[in-house]
């Protein structure tokens, strides 16, 4: 590493310091601001307490200084927050993440360089697929860094070999030249027609094949190439007709010792008017998958966040995407922009590029295309670390994601030092970063949870504040987490809030959770098309925004009603559950993720339910009887965008994955 020694003059004292070349690959950088100019006497003890390296003054700004810490030991923000409370009130620290916020007013060679990089990759890996040049989610020649950054992984020989991804969709064309060699028949089944082969049979049974191509299209001379082009894909057909709850549950666990990852680009309708999710046997199947799938390491469930942005929808009203057991993935476009169809959500981990495919894949995009790309990246990870658990993978997502579009006001720096946005989650998925991190990742300990509730309190009226819209006037209620309650918790992961609310118009409500560290999760947003009078009955919201946050202290729930003075309601009760890693070696907690009850579901007209109430004392059901059978449709996460005309294969518009620096990009 290059070093340059400069002599800095601070008032009458001379300080000799060694400045280092910026290394965003292995170090995180921050700016430190003092209240008075050139206050070196204040800076030195701060650096010592934070174990940070001084990097020099920021240009000509006398109150701003560069400091840095190694990435693998970066707890600077949390350490600083502790320090600031004690003795250093006049210092402020901000993270500095490289981003392209300004551009030259002249033509550049960026596009030429990216095309050269593309050609170099094709030559090095012997890629002859005619559509590869158009797969911008793999290598983006239009906007540098707005792709999966996967070529450096391939160059290490990491291509998904040994991993199996199951596509729960409308079938899979396993005879297609791009998929036939990677088709995994043993993990495939048709739950619509109940036959072994998940062959597409309807005219619109194309969705699953496209998703499979994004993941594992072979490296050949046909169409394009998959993210994990040596992985296997299984087809599980469930979207081509009505399906019972029991069959959906069986599909989610089908061959779950062999099928490692389940890619699910579907869910309740994205119309901004329902609160619906898995319950009963389906919820039990998801839990069973993470507890017993992959021989106890847990099935990896990847869900698309939804395309209901046009309808003000929020993925926290979707019980599949707001589950602690799933990884929720959104989409960005080719330029790294937040698309209008995307849904803001506190339960969202990642964003990835969005794909529009053409001749070989026809029209394919939205978050429907984002989830398979993430599944493909996870297949790369498991190909080198099959021992990782389902929670390990979620930790890797949090730690490797890259924040983008930092000018967006929704980004918040957390006590952990990371950044989070309800639009982008923790940032975009970067294949190179997550694979490199996975190589040495130490698996987390058993899962535990703690909970506290307002069950014994009286119901609270929700004030209508339409005339005076301010959070100060909203309903605020609190719950306390004590140090004793959190004694068995080593680190926080998911936070869930289960509420029962009566209201004349559910779509009027905004619900916020504020942590003891003043971190705010937007659990529910107003939805203009949600006219339901059913309120929310035992509905569970989830947030990943509080990951690694100290849970001890007062948690506040704000219920904001400022849309319609004629619609009123009240909060009946709420429960706070903190999920995380145990401090002690103990059996994984078996408490169920709180179910959304039938009363809280708004059911589409196309769905019919047959319910049987079973008393706890009944231990045996007569063979052949039907219980908890539900005939329903699952909706594909289709995008609202239109693909371009032409005959070029383009499996891309899914997961956006920029990189922190050009030096890190595409390393071998």
Rounded to an integer, what distance in angstroms lies between the CA atom of residue 43 and that of residue 588?
45
| Catalytic annotation, pick one of 129, 133, 188, 207 | 207
Active site residue 550: no
Q: How many CA atoms lie within 13 A of 92 on its CB side?
A: 8
β strands within 113-251, DSSP E: 164-169, 189-190, 232-237
Rounded to an integer, what distance in angstroms lies between the CA atom of residue 576 and that of residue 540?
10
How long a stretch of residues is the chain?
A: 668
CA 216 to chain CA mean position, Å: 21
Rounded to an integer, what distance in angstroms lies between the CA atom of residue 268 and that of residue 81?
41
Rounded to an integer, what distance in angstroms lies between the CA atom of residue 628 and that of residue 402?
42
The answer to whether the beta carbons of residues 549 and 416 sit under 8 Å apart is yes
Rounded to an integer, what distance in angstroms lies between the CA atom of residue 193 and that of residue 656?
36
| Catalytic annotation, pick one of 151, 305, 323, 368 | 368
| Catalytic annotation, pick one of 74, 133, 169, 178 | 169
Active site residue 169: yes
Rounded to an integer, what distance in angstroms lies between the CA atom of residue 387 and that of residue 610?
41
Which tokens sit at 242?
């009505």
Which tokens sit at 434?
């997550």
The three-state secondary structure class of 67 is: strand
Q: In what order do the strands lie in the sheet with 553-561?
A: 475-481, 553-561, 509-514, 520-524
Q: How many CB atoms lie within 10 A of CB 162?
A: 14
Rounded to an integer, what distance in angstroms lies between the CA atom of residue 604 and that of residue 601?
9
Angle made by CA atoms 35, 41, 42, in degrees to the nearest 5: 40
Query: What element of type H or E holds 95?
Result: strand 91-96
Which tokens sit at 158?
């990491």
Gyration radius of the chain's alpha carbons:
25
Which tokens sit at 145?
């860094």
Residues 6+ apart with CB under 8 A from 537: 500, 597, 599, 600
Helices (H), 14-165: 40-50, 76-86, 110-125, 151-154
Query: What element of type H or E holds 478?
Result: strand 475-481
Candidates 417, 429, 436, 452; CA nearest to 578 is: 452
CA 632 to chain CA mean position, Å: 27
Q: How many CB atoms lie within 10 A of CB 58?
A: 15
Residues serving a catalytic function are 169, 207, 368
């Amino acid at each position: 590493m290059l070093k340059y020694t400069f002599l800095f003059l601070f008032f009458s004292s001379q300080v000799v310091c060694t400045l280092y070349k910026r290394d965003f690959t292995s170090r995180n950088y921050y700016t430190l601001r003092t209240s008075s100019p050139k206050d070196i006497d204040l800076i030195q003890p701060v650096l010592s307490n934070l174990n940070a390296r001084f990097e020099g003054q920021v240009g000509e700004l006398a109150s701003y200084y560069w400091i840095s810490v190694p990435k693998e030991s970066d707890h600077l923000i949390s350490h600083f927050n502790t320090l600031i409370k004690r003795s250093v009130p006049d210092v402020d620290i901000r993270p500095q993440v490289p981003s392209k916020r300004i551009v030259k007013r002249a033509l550049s060679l960026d596009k030429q360089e990216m095309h050269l990089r593309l050609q170099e990759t094709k030559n090095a890996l012997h890629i002859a697929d005619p559509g590869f040049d158009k797969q911008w989610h793999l290598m983006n020649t239009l906007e540098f860094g707005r792709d999966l950054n996967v070529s450096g992984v391939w160059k290490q020989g990491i291509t998904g070999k040994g991993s199996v991804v199951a596509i729960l969709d409308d079938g899979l064309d396993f005879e297609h030249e791009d998929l036939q060699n990677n088709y995994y028949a043993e993990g495939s089944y048709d739950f619509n027609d109940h036959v072994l082969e998940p062959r597409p049979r309807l005219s619109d049974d194309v969705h699953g094949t496209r998703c499979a191509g994004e993941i594992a299209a072979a490296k050949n001379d046909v169409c394009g190439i998959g993210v994990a082009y040596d992985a296997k894909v299984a087809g599980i057909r469930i979207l081509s007709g009505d399906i019972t709850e029991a069959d959906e549950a069986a599909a989610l666990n089908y061959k779950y010792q062999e099928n490692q990852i389940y890619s699910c680009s579907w869910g309740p309708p994205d119309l901004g008017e329902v609160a619906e999710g898995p319950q009963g046997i389906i919820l039990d199947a998801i839990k069973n998958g993470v507890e017993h799938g992959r021989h106890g390491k847990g099935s990896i469930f990847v869900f698309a966040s939804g395309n209901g942005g046009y309808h003000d929808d929020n993925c926290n009203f979707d019980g599949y995407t707001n589950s602690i057991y799933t990884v929720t993935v959104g989409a960005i476009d080719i330029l790294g922009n937040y698309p209008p169809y995307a849904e803001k959500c506190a339960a969202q981990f990642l964003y990835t590029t969005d794909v529009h495919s053409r001749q070989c894949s026809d029209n394919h995009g939205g978050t429907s295309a984002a989830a398979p790309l993430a599944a493909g990246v996870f297949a790369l990870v498991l190909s080198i670390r099959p021992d990782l658990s389902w929670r390990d993978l979620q930790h890797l997502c949090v730690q490797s994601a890259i924040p983008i579009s930092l000018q967006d006001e929704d980004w918040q720096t957390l006590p952990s030092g990371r950044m989070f946005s309800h639009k982008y989650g923790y940032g975009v998925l970067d294949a190179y970063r997550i694979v490199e991190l996975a190589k040495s990742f130490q698996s987390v300990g058993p899962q535990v949870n703690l909970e506290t509730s307002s069950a014994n309190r009286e119901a609270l009226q929700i004030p209508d504040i339409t005339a005076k819209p301010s959070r100060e006037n909203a309903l605020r209620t609190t719950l306390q987490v004590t140090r004793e309650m959190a004694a068995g918790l080593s680190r926080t992961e998911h936070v869930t809030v289960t509420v029962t609310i009566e209201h004349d118009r559910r779509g009027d409500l905004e619900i916020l959770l504020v942590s003891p560290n003043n971190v705010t999760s937007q659990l529910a947003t107003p939805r203009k098309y949600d006219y339901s009078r059913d309120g929310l009955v035992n509905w569970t919201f989830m947030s990943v925004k509080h990951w690694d946050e100290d849970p001890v202290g007062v948690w506040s729930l704000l219920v904001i009603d400022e849309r319609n003075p004629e619609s009123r309601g009240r909060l009946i009760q709420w429960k706070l559950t903190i999920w995380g890693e145990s401090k002690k070696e103990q059996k994984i907690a078996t408490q169920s993720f709180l179910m959304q009850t039938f009363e809280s579901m708004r059911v589409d007209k196309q769905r019919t339910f047959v319910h049987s109430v079973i008393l706890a004392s009944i231990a045996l059901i007569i063979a052949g009887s039907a219980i908890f059978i539900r005939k329903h449709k699952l909706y594909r996460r289709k995008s609202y965008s239109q693909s371009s005309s032409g005959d070029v294969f383009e499996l891309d518009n899914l997961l956006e994955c920029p990189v922190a620096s050009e030096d890190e990009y595409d390393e071998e």
